[in-house]
């Protein structure tokens, strides 16, 4: 009869954990190698948000507010632009600025997304 002691169980558990960690690391290295290179930042600054990015698409982000999907986002108004949003990190008059919704990536001041909040006066 084969009896497993607690000590043997712990040793086997540690070995399995090490094997799992090694497999995960190898998988991550392969995924990183196969991933496309990140987009180069515009003029040395943070990258612009891509409208096709999953998060941007889910929030209806468009670089031009006039192109927002009003059927999908009926609360959109033509006057709502990223430059007038509370979340817009650029200065007044900037063509683009960082947005915390998109991890600090740049959004167009003329853009719009469903997270738009009127800038406080």
**pTM to 2 decimals?**
0.61
Q: How confident is the model at residue 94 (pLDDT cuts 50, 70, 90)?
A: very high
Q: For residues 53 and 41, is the Cβ–Cβ distance under 8 A?
A: no
Encode pLDDT of 33-88 as tens digits: 565 554 444 455 678 999 999 999 999 999 999 999 999 999 999 999 999 999 99
Say how far apart CA 106 and CA 97 lie, in whole Å.
Answer: 5
pLDDT of residue 22: 67
- The SS3 assignment for 31 reads helix
Nearest to 105 by CA among 52, 59, 50, 49: 49
Tell me which fold the domain 47-121 belongs to.
High-Potential Iron-Sulfur Protein; Chain A (4.10.490)
């Amino acid at each position: 009869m084969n009896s497993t002691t607690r000590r043997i169980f712990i040793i086997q558990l540690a070995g399995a954990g090490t094997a799992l960690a090694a497999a995960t690391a190898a998988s991550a290295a392969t995924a990183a190698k196969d991933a496309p290179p990140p987009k180069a930042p515009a003029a040395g600054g943070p990258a612009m948000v891509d409208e096709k990015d999953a998060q941007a698409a889910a929030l209806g982000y468009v670089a031009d507010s006039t192109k927002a999907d009003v059927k999908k986002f009926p609360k959109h108004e033509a006057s709502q632009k990223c430059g007038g949003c509370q979340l817009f990190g650029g200065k007044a008059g900037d063509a683009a600025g960082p947005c915390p919704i998109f991890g600090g990536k740049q959004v167009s001041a003329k853009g719009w997304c469903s997270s738009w909040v009127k800038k406080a006066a």
